[in-house]
Amino acid sequence: MSNLTAAGTFSLAGHPVHRMGYGAMQLAGPGVFGPPRDRDAAIAVLREAVASGVNHIDTSDFYGPHITNQLIREALHPYPDDLMIVTKVGAVRGEDGAWLPAMEPEDIERGVHDNLRNLGVDVLDVVNVRIMGSVHAPAEGSIERQVAALAELQYRGLVRHIGLSNVTSAQVAEAQGIAPIVCVQNHYNLIQREDDALIDELAGKGIAYVPFFPLGGFTPIQSSALSRVARIIGATPMQVALAWLLHRAPNILLIPGTSSLGHLRENMQAAQLSLPGTVRAELDAMGNVNGRQPAATR
Ligand SMILES: NC(=O)c1ccc[n+]([C@@H]2O[C@H](COP(=O)([O-])OP(=O)(O)OC[C@H]3O[C@@H](n4cnc5c(N)ncnc54)[C@H](OP(=O)(O)O)[C@@H]3O)[C@@H](O)[C@H]2O)c1
């Protein structure tokens, strides 16, 4: 069994959570649409994650849609007191599985109610507003209406804490003028480093940074340099990619996604992996520079 305490904790909205968490998106069917191929396996992954010490799970009611939250409820309700379930609103799914923006105040409210119903709770721990300006990269523009809509639901007692997803530094500042922001969830990993400055800025403010696609997402990172480093230290490439993120900044909380018990166990072990300075320097050099990836990782 893995020992998540080795990677320490970080305060998420005043709750110290293990820095190794779990992202539930991969539990729905192919393309995050429809039921999982193996429902029992999905339930087993969730239960083992929590049994391993995970007390931070990321989800959304638009995963499935509804299905991932229903799996979480079936596997884990009544929820352990220390479990923080972070969900997100801002999109819905088309009949063909398309990801459609749902950013109007009434959409935000409907999204909150969908999450409450399918997770089986009266109040949501943390809700991220997922800004759909661009699909996997933030785009500048005011997010005032969306954050204000969520702040209104917080005032009504349906939401404890507010986070942001797919946002820029300017949008974080704008949101902080409306409500306290407890976490930011953007695309970031060993290769994709556009958010380096934002991570450091948020660390200075004590705000959690939660990288989505920490392993590269639907096509996990493949790199001969990463594989070589992993071989040298006796770990797997995915473990090294996760350990590098844990070393990157203290406010990084991980939510690697998997539908496989084997991968879950492998990923949890990364919490105990320490990276020697020389290895870290090699990994640091693998990131993109001004949006371009070094040749070794293309
Ligand atoms: N805010 C947003 O816009 C946003 C966007 C995307 C994701 N998210 C959140 O972020 C979480 C993490 O992102 P993600 O799940 O999309 O991507 P990820 O964690 O980067 O990678 C998941 C992919 O890697 C595979 N994988 C996992 N562990 C592995 C291992 N040890 N060895 C080999 N392959 C492995 C998974 O396949 P298997 O199932 O076969 O293991 C899956 O294909 C999601 O679960 C979701 O909660 C948020």
- Kindly give the confidence (pLDDT) of every residue in the chain, 298 residues in length, as a single tens digit, with 9 standing for 90 and above: 568 999 999 999 999 999 999 999 999 999 999 999 999 999 999 999 999 999 999 999 999 999 999 999 999 999 999 999 999 999 999 999 999 999 999 999 999 999 999 999 999 999 999 998 777 789 999 999 999 999 999 999 999 999 999 999 999 999 999 999 999 999 999 999 999 999 999 999 999 999 999 999 999 999 999 999 999 999 999 999 999 999 999 999 999 999 999 999 999 999 999 999 999 999 999 987 544 444 333 3
Residue 132: count of CB within 10 angstroms of its CB: 17
CB of 258 closer than 6 angstroms to any ligand 1 atom: yes
Rounded to two decimals, what is the model's pTM?
Answer: 0.96
Under DSSP, the state recorded for 225 is H
Amino acid letter, residue 151 = A
Residue pair 246/271 in contact by the 8 Å Cβ criterion: yes
| Residue 99 phi, psi dihedral angles, 5° rounding | -95, 110
Active-site residues: which are they? 63
How far away, in angstroms, is 152 Cα from ligand 1 center? 32
With CA atoms as reference, report the closest residue to 284 among 243, 252, 254, 253.
Answer: 243
Tokens (6 digits) for 193: 């480093």
Nearest CA residue ID for atom 38, ligand 1: 258
How far away, in angstroms, is 22 Cα from ligand 1 center? 9
Using CB atoms within 10 Å of the CB of residue 250, give its burial: 0 to 12 exposed, 13 to 18 middle, 19+ buried: middle
CB of 90 closer than 6 angstroms to any ligand 1 atom: no
**3-state secondary structure at position 245:** helix
Question: Which domains can be identified in the chain, with CATH numbers?
Answer: 20-297 (3.20.20.100)
- Decide the pairing of beta strands 99-101 and 124-130: unpaired
Nearest CA residue ID for atom 4, ligand 1: 212
Alpha carbon distance 211, 101 (integer Å): 21
CB of 13 closer than 6 angstroms to any ligand 1 atom: no
Using CB atoms within 10 Å of the CB of residue 95, give its burial: 0 to 12 exposed, 13 to 18 middle, 19+ buried: exposed
How far away, in angstroms, is 156 Cα from ligand 1 center? 33
Residue 37: count of CB within 10 angstroms of its CB: 10
With CA atoms as reference, report the closest residue to 282 among 219, 212, 227.
Answer: 227
CB of 68 closer than 6 angstroms to any ligand 1 atom: no
Question: In the chain, how many H helices and how many E strands?
Answer: 10, 11
